[in-house]
Structure 1
C-alpha cells in the first residue's frame, strides 16, 4: 500500500495498487507550481482514496491540479477526459518501492539543469 499526505497532513491519500507511469515532469506549469520538477505516478480514479478537502485549479482546458487549501501542497493532476489520477511522489511516505521510468515534457525544462540519468526523455 502506498500512502501520502500534504505538508500539514489535512489531505491524505492511499492506494493498494501499484502505480504506473512513474515520471518526472519538466513542463512549465509543474515547474511553476512545484518550484522544480514534479515527480508523479498514476492509478485509476477508483484506486485512489483521498481524505480531506482538495481544492482544484483548472490549469488548462484539458486538466486540473489538486492542492491542499490549508498548506498549498500540490498533490494531484487530473486530465478531464481520463479515468486516472496522478499523485505527487514527493508526498508519499517512504519506502515507495517505485522506480523512475521516464522524464516528460523535457522540451520545456529549465535551462539551469541537465538530465543525465539515462532514462527515456519525452519531448511532450
Structure 2
C-alpha cells in the first residue's frame, strides 16, 4: 500500500467511527431509487483500498436488494455505507469524512435516474442503469 493514506470519519453523533485506506480519494455518486430513499438525495461514497474499511460502534445494515446492503448508525441513523454482499465490500459514505476525504467526483451510477432538480457538474464518467447493473447485479442463471 505504498502511497496510501488513512482516512478517519464518524457518524453524526460520533458513536460509530469509520477508517479506511485510500491512495487517491475518489468520489462516486449513485442516483438509484434505493440510495435516494436512504439518503434523501444521491448517495456519495469514497473509493477505498480493498479490505481496508474498519467500522466500530453501534452499526448495523439492511439488506436492500439481491446484491446490496446499506449500513447505518443504530444511535443517530447516519448513513454509513453501501455494501455489495457477494464480496463483502463496504463503500463508506463521503459525508463521514471531513471535506469528503478530499476526494474528486469520478463516477455517477444510475445517472439516467438523476432527478431533474439537481445534477453534478464535471466531466466524470456517468453510467446508465444498464451499465451500472452490468457491473453490480448478480448474473441471472
TM-score, normalized by length of structure 2? 0.78
Tell whether 2:119 aligns with 1:114: yes
> 1-side partners of 2:36 and 2:24: how far apart?
22
Please identify the structure whose Cα radius of gyration is greater.
Answer: 2
> 1-side partners of 2:60 and 2:100: how far apart?
27
Q: Unaligned stretches of 5+ in structure 2?
A: 1-5, 130-141
- Provide, for residues 19-50 of structure 1, a one-character-per-residue CA deviation record: whole Å limited to 9, x for no partner: 67621111111111111111102335631111
Which gives a bigger RCO, structure 1 or 2 (Cα 8 Å, sep 6+)?
1
The match for 1:6 among 5, 11, 17 is 11
| Structure 2 counterparts to residues 2-41 of structure 1, below 5 A | 2-18=7-23, 22-41=27-46
Count of equivalent residues: 124
Structure 2 vs 1, CA of residues 46 and 102 (structure 1 numbering), >3 Å: closer, same or farther?
closer
> 1-side partners of 2:47 and 2:87: how far apart?
11
Tell whether 2:57 aligns with 1:55: no
Structure 2 vs 1, CA of residues 21 and 97 (structure 1 numbering), >3 Å: closer, same or farther?
closer
How far residue 95 of structure 1 moved from its aligned partner, in angstroms, is 6.8
**CA RMSD in angstroms, aligned pairs only:** 2.0
The match for 2:91 among 82, 86, 91 is 86
TM-score, normalized by length of structure 1? 0.87
Q: Unaligned stretches of 5+ in structure 1?
A: none
- Provide, for residues 90-122 of structure 1, a one-character-per-residue CA deviation record: whole Å limited to 9, x for no partner: 111237232111111112211222343232211
Tell whether 2:74 aligns with 1:69: yes
How far residue 55 of structure 1 moved from its aligned partner, in angstroms, is 1.3
